[in-house]
Structure formats: structure tokens, C-alpha cells
Structure 1
Amino acid sequence: MNKVLFHQALDNAIQFIKDNYALLGQDPIVLRDIYGRISVILQAKKTKKHKGLAKDLGKLLGKFAYSEEEIFLYAADLYGISSLINSPDKIRVPNAASPIYLLDRQVTGQDWLRAPIPRNAHPSKRATLFGIKGGVGRSSALAIWAWFLAEQGKKVLIVDLDLESPGIGQILLPQGNLPDFGVVDWLVEEAVGQADAELLREMVATSPLAENCEGMIRVVTAAGGKEQDYIAKLSRIYMDINQNGEIVDFAHRLALLLEQLEAQETPDIVLLDSRAGIHDIAAIAITRLTDMAFLFAVNTPQTWQAYRYLFAHWQKWDVNLGQFRENLKIVAGMVPELGRADYLSRCRESAYNLFLETIYEETGAEDLDTFSFALDDSSAPHYPVEILWNMTFQEFNPQAADYFKTNGAQLTACYGNFLQTATQLVLGE
């Protein structure tokens, strides 16, 4: 018998349910565990025919099947069934004439498909800077944009969410000016009920980059200046916690931290420095916490393939995508000095193909409200806003004396379009 591979098993299960829907009852839920093994929760009563169907389904699933006795789970027999039926991670299977649902039990990655988290009050705007791969100039762009905003008189709050590889704090703050505590401290102390107002105040420091500006840059680092055991803390922060009898997941814990920081600091804009890669923190920052996500890219096959894995995941399940896809913008980082026009043209085409094949919608003559754009539409999410590479920024050190004054002309030439476009997209200015 041929092997049934991981990606085949789920497709086989869904097709089997479609073919036998009348015998299985309404609203079946495909339950896939953390190993990829599949069972089906049925709302219907058990019948003799189900025994044969269980055997047939088991053959279609191969090693990803439960035993014939366990492959069908009956809602009436399950304790706590309401938590499964009402799970926020239950997804309706697309393109099924009758309702079929998937509940995918994953160790990580759930947040890429979860809904944005509502904000109680949000006078400040949020922007996330993200790169699917590292080394694309994200942190430099964030620091320069923060300075530009402070020059415009804005109060900027920067939160380092690159917890696995922290660094934006060291770019924006001298070592002696680091706050005593960081994001990881708040998360471990919150888990035991000690994330209080005093801790919150000691997590924020003022960056000297804006000392001659009308505005201000305030920085929340991943680790504090007094850090003694970062790895031990980091290994404990992602868990859900029980807060006054309610289970609060990691995403909502980060949302609460941001709301408390915003209430304390009253910034005009919050910049979130997200870690690279397909990680839960990136998922939360891009799809659940922000008003605009800037997706940094260099025009290499590796970059676009990595983004394609992510975009194809959004496309496949099409859950909550409509709530954040308009808030995406590609940034072409480190555009080379030679052949820039040709490079940007190729980058634009690569980005367009990615969006067109995944999250853009097909349009017809009467389609006026579909989510799709022309290749050369500069307002489109796929249309890259460029940051030009220059030798001046090879050793980027914005803390050097008069750095922005000395390099003002090069900053304008290389970052000017990004600064203006990003500010307009987030603040409308």
C-alpha cells in the first residue's frame, strides 16, 4: 500500500466527509492532533454504518489515522465538547457545499490564522516592521523612521518584540541608558501576578537620538540593563496563564502589555520590531496587534519562497485575511547602487506574482470591490517602497555625535521615500 503523506491525509479526510456527508451528519469537525493524526467529531448518533465508514477512512489516512474505534468521536460522549465546538481555532473548510470544520492542534503557528485583537482605546497608531529573513535592514529603517517622526514632533514608542534575537535597544540606547527591565521581565512577572505599574515605568527609557528634535523616542527593550538570566526567562514566557480564573494566551498577554504601555506613555505612534521568520511573535505582531505591517524583502528566490509559504497558508484557509490584508506593504530593502531601476522592476514583479497567486482576488468586469491591484499601482500592498543601499550605512551607528546632521543628505536620498510613505500609511500625514 502506498504511503499517505501528511499533506495528503487532510485532503483525503475532507473529501471523504464530502462524499459521505449524509451518513455522518451535520457540521462534522476534523480534529488533527500535534502529530498530524486525524479523527472526526460527529454531531450525529452512532450507527452501524459508521463502523464500515471508519474502516474506509482509516485506509485513506494511513499512518495519520486513529484506530477504527477512535477515528469517529461522538459529541454526545465527549466531556467538555463545548470547548472544541466553540474553539477560536475552529476553521470552516473552504469550498465545501455543506459545513465542514477543521480544528488543528499545533504546538506553534496558530496565530497566523487568528483574528485581530480588539483594542479598548487606541489613540496611538501601531506599525510592525518584519522581515521573513534577517539581514534586510529592518532595524536600521526602524531607528531612522523613529528619528524622522521625532523630527516631526511625534512621540514615538518602540517595543522590541524580537525576543529571540534582541538588538533594537542597543541601536537606540547607550548601554548605560538601558531601562532596568524589559519585555521578558514583564511576561514572567505577570505570570505570578507581579507585573505592576512600578515595573512598567522601569521598562522604558528615552533615546538620545531625538534629543534635538521636537518629539521624543521612548524605548522598551527585550532585556533590561540589569538582566542576569535571560535564557531562563525566555523559555517561560510563551505559556498561557490563568488570570482571575480566565485562561489568557500569549497574544492577549502581549496585547495587554501594549495597552498598558500606551496608557502610560501616550505615544502618537508605536513601532513594533518583530523578529524575522515564521514565528508566533511575528504572527501576533503582523495579523493581530498592528495597524500596518511593513514586510521587508530583498529580491532573491529564497525571500519570495519564504513569503510564499506564509501567504499560501493564508490563502488556503482564508480566515480573517480580509481583516488585515489591506494593512500589508512590501519594503524593498538594501536596493543596490547599480541597476536600481531594473532591480526595483524585478522586485515589484516578484512581489506582484506573490500577491496575485495567493491573496489577490480574481476580478471580472462587474467586480468593483475585489481585493486586487494592477502591477504598477503604487498604492498597492505588493508595490515595493524602496530603501537604497549606500556605503554610508555599512557601519550604522546613529548614536555617534551629530550622526543625522552629518548624514542628512544620504538619509534623505536613501530613506526619503520610505519615511514619507510609511508615515502617510500609518498616520495619514
Structure 2
Amino acid sequence: MQERQRVTFDGCIPRMVASVLEVCPEADFSRMRVVRDMHGRLYLVVPDDWSDEALVAVRQRLRETLGPYSPGEDSGVGRCSDTLAGEALFWEPSLMYWVEDTGVQVVERRAMGQDWVHQPESEREAHCPRLVFHSLKGGVGRSTAMMLWGRELVRQGRTVLLVDLDLEAPGLGAHMLPVDSRPDYGVLDWLVEDLVGNAGPDLMREMVAESPLAESPGLWVAPAVGRRTMDHPDNVLAKLARAYLEGEDGNGFAARLRRMIAELEAQVRPEVVLIDSRAGLHETVAATLLHLQAEVFFFAVDVPATWEGYRYLFGHLSRLASVHEGPWGGGDWRQRFHMVQARSGMREADKRRFASNAYGVWVDTLYDELPPISESAEEDELSPATPPGKEEWAFTFDEQDPEGPHWPLAILRSDHFEAFNPMEQLAEVGEHAIREAFGEFFQGLEAVLSLQEDANR
């Protein structure tokens, strides 16, 4: 006897679609929503005009085919008006899943990480340029690059604020501020105090300090932790357990973070804000990558583990991009993404190999797929997955296009910046070594910053 195929998380949505169409071949998934609960079980919400017979038949079929991912024969399928949300369910954030030519919108119920399923804010808020530096793993020079560029901007006469959001591996405070110059509080303190309404203006003024690493004034740092936390290290894990929670007012982590950044900007009045993101794929990373209206720089080294990790990240983000329904030239959040090649070699071949590997990930995830060019007008029809007219505004680039976000800004490998302690070694490293390693990277950042400053005028 043939063993029944195991039902797993990855296969349950295709199984649901196949089962529904088997029972109701004319079913229109654009009029439905799939709700996935916190345990991964699937509920199908159908239009109110479905008959009782169709409901019973689909419930029974889904109970048979979804196995542990079925919520049960009596509750797996329901009409829209029978749900607690009603029509409002169709306005909730959703992710798009394509099962061959059938598009399925999935509403995710999560204990955490709800910011991953919210579309980035489309309305541009009034604020100075923000740039986020992110990597999948630590140790790629992300914080060093950010600190050195902040210092360079101050040399040019700008006021810069650096914010350390890598709360579980903080570094900017130790790298940029002497212990006796640390502010009393940090980002972690603000997030915890904000939960109980205790993050007032006084605390905000005591969570930034000016770094001595720049020769001119204007290099401000909001560290992850301040002196009070350093005096009470036994409280750090207890604070981390609460920092990412939703506020009593219902605002999630991203909304709270936006408010904190805005209040820091009002306090310091910087011309540029540089944000050190938490590394990896944690639920809270969505806030920095998607919801701060910032340019995002993804640091990577050219090894298989890097591309595997970015395939996971961008693969999820492609679900958000599938819901996007407008021309990208006006505001698609994917425009704000940029790759950075850390520890690059001197050869042009190294950069092209990196670009080729990055392109493979982007093509499979965040770049739009164009319909094939047909040989006759009769064959020239777009697939259901491609909205009419999308070929005119598709977000995609050629592999060798240096304007594409997959094409990297390179930081050269240098022994000077291995185990680099700027508080002690910056002077001995010297400006020439900084320019040699970071020159191209700085130029690329300047180009992005100029575009942001022009847009703000």
C-alpha cells in the first residue's frame, strides 16, 4: 500500500487550493481570504452567496487533505458575514501566494512579527534622509562602515545621528563613546519605559551623546544601552523580553520605533540619520527594513550561506510585492533596497560574480517577472499573474545594469579593519586606509543621499 504523502506547512496552501477547485471548479479565490492562525492552521473565508451544500462539501474535503493544518470539519470554512471581522477582513494586510495561476491572499495571525505582513507606508512623512544598514550575520563590518561614513558626513559639515537598533548585540556605544561620556539611557530603555508611558522628553534628552571620533561637532549617537543599564546588567534580558511588545495603545513595534526616531530627530535636528539594524531574520527586523521610510543597505559576503539567507528574506518580501498594484517609479519600496559587498577583493571579476549571485536571488524573488514575448498577436496575452499594463512598469533590471539594486557597492577587504576598535585605533589607521577600503561605498552612499535630499527640497 502506498504511504499517504505527509502534509507540511510548505504544502498546505497548494493542497487547499487544489481541494477547493476539485469540489467547486468555478470557485473565485479573488473573492476569498485564507486566514492562517498562530499555529499554522488554515481557515477559508468565502463569499456569503455560497450554498450550505458547497460549504459542507469543501469543509469535508479540506479536513481530509489538510490533516494537522485543518482546524476541523465544523470550522474550516465560513461565510464572510459569519466571521467576527466581517467585511473588514478584506481590508486587513495580506500576503499573496500564487498556486500556478491562482492568486491566494493570506491573512496571517501571529504572536509576533505582524510588521512583516503590513505594506510599507506609502505616504511620505516629513523627515530628514534615513539610511538603514542591515546584514544577516554580524562580523561583516556593518557597524564600522556606518560609523566611518557618519564621521565623513560630519567632516563635510553635516549633523548626523547614529541609532543603534541591534539591541541584542549592541556596538555603537562601545565603538563611538567613552564610558564616561555615555548617556544615561539608550534605545532599549526607551522601548521599555514607553510601554508604561514613562518615555518623556527628559528621557529623550538623556539618550544621546556626541562622539569624539569626529574633529568637528555634529556626530551624535543614540546607543542601544546607556550607563544606567551598564550599572544594572542583570536587567538586560528582562528588558529585551519587553522591548518588542505592542504598546497599551495597540501600536506595534514598528509604530513605536517610528515615533522614537521622530522624537530623536526633533531633539538632535540631524541632517542625516543612520540606523544600525538588528542582524538576521528576527520578527522585529521588519520595522527597520520596511517601516521607517529609509534607504536600506544589505551587507553581504559572497558565500552560499549569504545567498540562502537573503533568498529567505526576499522570498517573504516578494509576497508583499505581489500585493503591490502600482507603478514602481512613483514609490515602490523595493527602490529603497541596495546590496553592499563586504570584504570585496580588488578584482572586477569578484564584483561581477557577487552581482551575478545577487541577481539570481533578486530575479527569483523581488524582481517582477515579465510575460514572454510571443510570436503572434494571438499569443500575446498576459498570464493571470501579470496585471494588465504591468509590463510597462515592471520592477526589474538586467544582470549587468549598475543601476539595479542587486549591483553592489563594494567595501574592500582590509586587515586594518579586522577587530577594529575606533576609540583606540582610528588615528593610527589613517584616512588613506579608510579611503582605500570604503571609497566606492562612500561614493554610492553620497549618490543615494543626494537623491533623498533633492526629494526633500
TM-score (norm 1): 0.90
Give the C-alpha shift of residue 412 in structure 1: 0.7
- Cα distance change on mapping 1:96 and 1:343 into 2, 3 Å: closer
- Cα distance change on mapping 1:392 and 1:361 into 2, 3 Å: same
SS at match of 1:40: strand
How many angstroms apart in 2 are the aligned matches of 1:411 and 1:24? 59
1:176 aligns with 2:180: yes
Determine if contact 1:9/1:64 at 8 Å carries over to the other structure: yes
What's 1:340 paired with?
347
Give the C-alpha shift of residue 33 in structure 1: 1.2
Aligned pairs for 1:160-171 (under 5 A) are: 160-171=164-175
Determine if contact 1:297/1:332 at 8 Å carries over to the other structure: yes
Partner residue of 1:70 out of 58, 72, 75: 75
Determine if contact 1:27/1:99 at 8 Å carries over to the other structure: no
Give the C-alpha shift of residue 75 in structure 1: 3.3
How many angstroms apart in 1 are the aligned matches of 2:88 and 2:195? 23
Deviations 1:36-85 (A, max 9, x none): 11121233265133222211121121111121111123333333445544
How many angstroms apart in 1 are the aligned matches of 2:270 and 2:396? 33
Determine if contact 2:12/2:69 at 8 Å carries over to the other structure: yes
1:56 aligns with 2:65: no
1:114 aligns with 2:118: yes
How many residues were matched structurally?
Answer: 420
What's 2:225 paired with?
223
- Cα distance change on mapping 1:392 and 1:256 into 2, 3 Å: same
Root mean square deviation of aligned Cα? 2.6
How many angstroms apart in 1 are the aligned matches of 2:393 and 2:39? 40
Give the C-alpha shift of residue 15 in structure 1: 3.4
Give the C-alpha shift of residue 198 in structure 1: 0.3
What's 1:415 paired with?
438
**Unaligned residue ranges in structure 1 (runs of 5+):** none
What's 1:386 paired with?
410
1:234 aligns with 2:240: yes
Aligned pairs for 1:59-208 (under 5 A) are: 59-81=64-86, 84-87=89-92, 89-91=93-95, 93-94=97-98, 100-117=104-121, 121-208=125-212
How many angstroms apart in 1 are the aligned matches of 2:210 and 2:68? 56
TM-score (norm 2): 0.85
Determine if contact 1:25/1:43 at 8 Å carries over to the other structure: no
Deviations 1:155-208 (A, max 9, x none): 111111101111111111111111101112111211111111001000111111
Determine if contact 2:416/2:429 at 8 Å carries over to the other structure: no
Partner residue of 1:32 out of 36, 49, 53: 36
Aligned pairs for 1:319-338 (under 5 A) are: 319-320=323-324, 323-336=332-345
**Unaligned residue ranges in structure 2 (runs of 5+):** 374-388
- Cα distance change on mapping 1:355 and 1:78 into 2, 3 Å: closer
Give the C-alpha shift of residue 101 in structure 1: 2.9
1:5 aligns with 2:12: no
How many angstroms apart in 1 are the aligned matches of 2:450 and 2:29? 50
How many angstroms apart in 2 are the aligned matches of 1:99 and 1:355? 21
What's 1:375 paired with?
399
Q: Which amino acid aligns with 1:287?
A: L
Q: Which amino acid aligns with 1:266?
A: R
Determine if contact 1:162/1:274 at 8 Å carries over to the other structure: yes
How many angstroms apart in 2 are the aligned matches of 1:106 and 1:225? 35
What's 1:249 paired with?
252
Q: Which amino acid aligns with 2:126?
A: H
1:361 aligns with 2:368: yes
